[in-house]
Amino acid sequence: MTTLKDGDLVLLVGRDRKQYLLRLRAGQSFYTRHGSLRHGDIIGQPLGREVRTHLEYPFLVLEPSTADLIQRIKRNTQIMFPKDISHVLMRLDLFPGRRVIEAGTGSGGLTLALCRQVMPTGRVYSYESNPEAQALARANLEALGLLPYVELKIRDIKEGFDETEVDALFLDVRSPWRYVAPAARALKAGGFFGALVPTANQVSDLLEALQGHGEFAFTEVEELILRPYKAVPARLRPADRIIGHTGYLIFARRVVGGLDKSWALTEQRKRQRLLTEEDEDE
Amino acid sequence: MTTLKDGDLVLLVGRDRKQYLLRLRAGQSFYTRHGSLRHGDIIGQPLGREVRTHLEYPFLVLEPSTADLIQRIKRNTQIMFPKDISHVLMRLDLFPGRRVIEAGTGSGGLTLALCRQVMPTGRVYSYESNPEAQALARANLEALGLLPYVELKIRDIKEGFDETEVDALFLDVRSPWRYVAPAARALKAGGFFGALVPTANQVSDLLEALQGHGEFAFTEVEELILRPYKAVPARLRPADRIIGHTGYLIFARRVVGGLDKSWALTEQRKRQRLLTEEDEDE
Amino acid sequence: MTTLKDGDLVLLVGRDRKQYLLRLRAGQSFYTRHGSLRHGDIIGQPLGREVRTHLEYPFLVLEPSTADLIQRIKRNTQIMFPKDISHVLMRLDLFPGRRVIEAGTGSGGLTLALCRQVMPTGRVYSYESNPEAQALARANLEALGLLPYVELKIRDIKEGFDETEVDALFLDVRSPWRYVAPAARALKAGGFFGALVPTANQVSDLLEALQGHGEFAFTEVEELILRPYKAVPARLRPADRIIGHTGYLIFARRVVGGLDKSWALTEQRKRQRLLTEEDEDE
Amino acid sequence: MTTLKDGDLVLLVGRDRKQYLLRLRAGQSFYTRHGSLRHGDIIGQPLGREVRTHLEYPFLVLEPSTADLIQRIKRNTQIMFPKDISHVLMRLDLFPGRRVIEAGTGSGGLTLALCRQVMPTGRVYSYESNPEAQALARANLEALGLLPYVELKIRDIKEGFDETEVDALFLDVRSPWRYVAPAARALKAGGFFGALVPTANQVSDLLEALQGHGEFAFTEVEELILRPYKAVPARLRPADRIIGHTGYLIFARRVVGGLDKSWALTEQRKRQRLLTEEDEDE
């Protein structure tokens, strides 16, 4: 049984479902309009239980998950959603020991997930051009104890990346097509490339850059739609209003050695002849 | 630069996009209808390059990702899709060191992803009632060198699980509602519960069991829809035919201590009065 | 060129995109916080033009479409969305001259679309148990001049429908499975049955009733998801927040004559044997 | 009760769910590998019943719906799906008496639905550049008795349309942005414009043309996704494989009189300032 210690990070969830991320510090108190809680009354208790404020308002004390952290960090920019981040972690094949580049850092939401995925032996190299954004990300990562696993860099990535032979690289920037050549130089042969863009026009621009570069195979575009349900057993139904769009995800793998251009496509154009005809009478 | 060694596992992708998972063994050859490849000609080469059969048919030699492995293992059952698996890894908050139970093992697709996520210090406890399924999963996991991280058990889980205080537990079985009580006994307070079921009826049954048990908070139901696109920059469009359904995902967290039943719901029923009225004139 | 006359119904859309349905009456004025408009200044003008209030605030004067009417009528209940209504009109094969039953009337949104689809020679029979709802629907239909095409009835439909040999019948009620037998008695052989329910549990209950009744063939369940985009040419992207669910649509056709039960399904169970096996190891 | 007559059109559905469209002719027979059926044995019978071949194979005899006809006509081109057609009928506000232009005719699937929607007093003007396509559409429409309601024209629509003051106009052609000016000239003020294109790039091109033209208000882009379910009450679930994409639908209304360009957008850009900032840090 896990017992909470001074310095532990906890997620408090109130009866109204509001969530608070809290670092336990003996002697401190947590104040809400529903009353106050002394950290000392939580320290020494096991996780996964109810605590009550002096006004008897109940909170659950939970270990915050990576998804909780992503959603609760301070932000001044749009952040990636956990559903997209988990998909990226899988598609970029990240696990402990991997070296991965991301740009830009933003508020550090993806950064923290990358750190937790490659730690303790791997490393995240995170580039950002806006010093204010980086400062916030640094504060967020420091609060979570993740700074040892990441190098935060201020850089306009047009100048390229410092690293080479990285296992994976992810671009969450406005014009990712401008950085396809530096991305290729940073990635190891066989390395995983990923990007997120909000608009279809950006998808076209990025695909054109990747497919024209000569070292990216198996370009793919995907969208991930999360459909939540109302969890009522006798009246099960999808939620009324949902997030309709977060972004398009583009993936590719870097390959080397003067490849045939056709590798850039995920599907082989077997029936080139037919496809051309189709084009014409489409 | 990574150079391939005897014993390495590689993914060969042919110009026709057919994929082959291969353990390199000096002296062996790989035969296809497009000609043969000697493993010895691959060993010593870097990853991420083209090799050609004696008939000059090109293959790319790549490091297989976890997603590649999930899709390429031998199977005699329906397996979970990588898009669902990555989401489960995030929602169950799995990382190195975690202890996680799954049932059933099936062909081992989720098992291998769980192993790669919690290794080297964590552990997967995987239950299966069908010895043949388990034998196949064991062979798959052994081929990938993952057996050290998993305990494969033959068991009808009605009898319960051997472990306690596990961080997370996932059910991919026909009647998960039957195992809610044993799941609660195995999970630590605050631990993460997950399940996948294909039908809406099963969702209702599982929700009823979870919400009625008294130790599961924040029950949620989600569906994840992956929409692939045709990656043609000048004619970007979603794929014509897609997978319409893989399964419903159900999540909850175990909490303890005689909780109020209302914690079982993710959304608070603030306006209980209004909701009831709504029920009536719906 | 259409010139507006006294008594015409128009849709006014303000620069802020707020919409107003207006019956033009010489001598009357339309007041908004953006200034007033005299009907007399609109009468005699052509449609499809801008008019300005005395404060120079612009409105477009348009002919209201059926979809505009559905969304703008007064309502005290949840109404069906135009995307579902248009699909129902197609699936129930409605056109001028058809006789169709609906229950319940609600605020009359579907009723008005049914009227416009079957008029002038067809007829809508609309049942409702709540007199207040019916009164509102009657007022809505009267304002649109559609009362000649509909019979509004106050009735608990457990007692059955008055009509027989109708071409189509649509149920938008809480427990449609209770009315499957009366629906069969009202429909002509070959007639079209449809229903909308919000929850998956209701779908199961209705399917069971339809498939068990013996006179319903080709039961189908569908959901229609409308995905709007932000219509910005250089930054095309799906809308951020969308309607995630309106309802499940169920369709069937009434057939007669002591049919084999298997007709109830849309897909033939060709490989009965295989399906059973699948059931077992699913 | 409807009794079938010589010359009626019927839909035969076999136990294997194969569908056949048949014009009943006394003296003729219908042959399948399951045996033959004499039309004379169907004539005089009521609709909605089972008939059996001389080999006792069962067929249901049904009235074909518009949706059935769309899916069963002979085609040599991609045709629009009923789910998109019904939506277009609603969005273009078509009903008896309306005059509507479409281009191109293709195999006549949309044409037949337009005819059935505006007949008997309305009219469809259908343009096509390919004489072979038109010939097939003509044969299809003639077989359904719909030629009186349509004018089929061979024309490269770059030269414009013959009609003016039409109520609605629909473009299902490769480069609809080229025909925006002729479309405006053909539509009445307040008239309804619609188009279908398969790719996102085409959507951008069309939006740019519409928004730049000056006479199109409320440009909208929509996608309609039909999700069918397996209609099994005890195991309700979405279908495994579905149509992922048919096309993007674009709508607008023609307005006249030197309008402000901002009317082209459906949503007002209230916070112009904020939007610009968003652009920069997106």
Decide: C217 and C252 in contact? Cβ < 8 Å.
yes
Contact A78 D282 (CB under 8 A): yes
Which band of pLDDT confidence, cut at 50, 70 and 90, is reported for residue A268? low
pLDDT of B199: 98
Comparing CB atoms, the residue among B228, B237, B241 nearest residue D198 is B237
C39-58 residues touching A, CB cutoff 8 A = none
- CATH class assigned to B67-264: alpha beta
Taking the Cβ of residue B78 and every Cβ of chain D, the question of whether any pair is shorter than 8 Å is answered with: no
Sheet holding B49-52, edge to edge: B19-23, B9-14, B58-62, B49-52
CB contact under 8 A, A282 and D78: yes
Q: What is the pLDDT of residue B243?
A: 94
**For residues C17 and D263, is the Cβ–Cβ distance under 8 A?**
no
Span D135-176, pLDDT tens digits: 999 999 999 999 999 999 999 999 899 999 999 999 999 999
Q: How much is the average pLDDT of C46-69? A: 94
Residue C156 pLDDT exceeds 70: yes
Q: Residues of chain A with pLDDT > 70: what percent?
A: 94
Q: Name which of A273-277, C171-175, D20-24, D150-154 the model is least confident about.
A: A273-277
Give residue A166's pLDDT.
98
Name chain A contacts of D203, Cβ cutoff 8 Å: 200
Closest CA to C229 of D230, B31, D266, D139: D266
CA B92/CA B80 separation, integer angstroms: 16
Would the pLDDT of D103 be above 90?
yes
- What confidence tier does A273 reach under pLDDT thresholds 50, 70, 90? very low
Cβ proximity of C70 and C114 under 8 Å:
no
Cβ-based neighbours of D212, under 8 Å, separated by 6 or more? none
3-state secondary structure (DSSP) of residue A189: strand
pLDDT higher at B275 or D192 = D192
Give the pLDDT confidence score for residue B269 in this predicted structure.
59
pLDDT digits (tens, 9 = 90+) for D33-73: 999 999 999 999 989 999 999 999 999 999 999 999 999 99
8 Å CB contact of B205 and A233: yes
Pairing of strands C241-243, D241-243: unpaired
- Whether residue C189 and residue D232 make contact (CB cut-off 8 A), yes or no, is no
The reply to whether ipTM tops 0.85 is: yes
Q: Which of A90, A96, A124, A66 is nearest to B96 (CA)?
A: A96
Which regions in chain B score pLDDT beneath 50? 271-282
For A211-262, what is each residue's pLDDT tens digit? 999 999 999 999 999 999 999 999 999 999 999 999 999 999 999 976 778 8
Q: How far is CA D112 from CA D82, D100, D103, D125, in A?
A: 11, 12, 13, 12
The maximal CA–CA distance of chain C, rounded, in angstroms, is 76
Beta bridge partners of A101: A125, A169
Region of poorest pLDDT, from A166-180, D82-96, D253-267: D253-267
- Please provide the CATH number assigned to the domain covering A9-64: 3.10.330.20
Beta bridge partners of A243: C241
Interface of D with A in 194-233 (CB under 8 A): 198, 200-201, 203-204
Contact at 8 Å (CB) between A194 and A156? no
Chain D residues with CB under 8 Å of C241 CB are none
The answer to whether residue C120 scores a pLDDT higher than 60 is yes
Residue B265 is classified by DSSP as B
| Inter-chain CB proximity B234 and D200 less than 8 Å | no
Q: How are the residues of chain B apportioned to helix, strand and coil, as percentages rounded to the nearest 5?
A: 35, 35, 35
CA atoms within 13 A on the CB side of D52: 7
| Helix, strand or coil, per DSSP, at residue D120 | coil
Question: Contact at 8 Å (CB) between D70 and D86?
Answer: no
Q: Side-chain half-sphere of C130: how many Cα atoms within 13 Å?
A: 16
What's the mean pLDDT when you consider all of chain A?
92
**Pair A129, A156: CB distance under 8 Å:** yes
Of A118-132, A163-177, B262-276, D29-43, the least confident: B262-276
By C-alpha distance, the chain D residue nearest C69 is D93
> For the segment C22-42, what is each residue's pLDDT rounded down to a tens digit?
999 999 999 999 999 999 999
Count Cβ–Cβ pairs < 8 Å, chain A vs chain C.
50
Distance CA D92, CA D89 (A): 5
Q: Is the pLDDT of residue A71 over 70?
A: yes
One-character DSSP codes across A53-89: -TT--EEEEEPPPHHHHHHHS--SS----HHHHHHHH
- Per-domain boundaries in chain D: 9-64, 67-264
The distance of D152 to chain C (nearest Cα, Å) reads: 23
- Reported as a single tens digit per residue, the pLDDT across B7-21 is 999 999 999 999 999
**Which H/E stretch holds residue B102?**
strand B99-103
Is D191's CB within 8 Å of C221's CB? no
Total residues belonging to chain B: 282
| Residues contacting residue A103 through CB under 8 Å, at least 6 positions apart | A126, A127, A128, A157, A161, A170, A171, A172, A173, A179
Using CB atoms within 10 Å of the CB of residue A271, give its burial: 0 to 12 exposed, 13 to 18 middle, 19+ buried.
Answer: exposed
**Which among C41, A246, D108, A226 is positioned nearest to B249, based on CA atoms?**
A226
- The pLDDT, as a whole number, for residue C1 is 65
pLDDT at residue B282, rounded to an integer: 31
Strands B29-32 and B35-38: antiparallel
pLDDT digits 0-9 by tens, C195-254 = 999 999 999 999 999 999 999 999 999 999 999 999 999 999 999 999 999 999 999 999
pLDDT at C281 over 50: no
**Given this model, what pLDDT does residue A1 score?**
65
CB pair distance less than 8 Å for B201 and C198: no
Predicted confidence at residue B1, as pLDDT, reads 64
Point out the residue among C198, C228, C240 whose CB comes nearest to the CB of A243: C240
Look at residue A187 and tell me whether its pLDDT is greater than 90: yes
Q: How far is CA B185 from CA A152, B97, B168, in A?
A: 43, 20, 12
Residue A282 has pLDDT above 50, yes or no: no
For residue D244, CA distances in Å to C91, D59, D198 come to 21, 31, 12
Residue pair A37/A30 in contact (Cβ under 8 Å)? The answer is: yes
State residue B276's pLDDT score: 36
Q: Which residues pair with A187 in a beta bridge?
A: A166
Q: Do A242 and C238 touch (CB under 8 A)?
A: no
Residue burial D256-273, b: 16+ Cβ < 10 Å; e: rest: beebeeebbbbeeeeeee
**Contact present, C125 and C171 (Cβ < 8 Å):** no
* pLDDT exceeds cutoff 70 at C271: no
* pLDDT higher than 80, residue C123: yes
Tens digits of per-residue pLDDT, B43-80? 999 899 999 999 999 999 999 999 999 999 999 888 89
User: Residue D190 in contact with residue D115, Cβ under 8 Å?
Assistant: no
Encode pLDDT of A21-55 as tens digits.
999 999 999 999 999 999 999 999 989 999 999 99
Cβ contact (<8 Å) for B231 and A220?
A: yes
D118 to chain C, any CB pair closer than 8 A? The answer is no
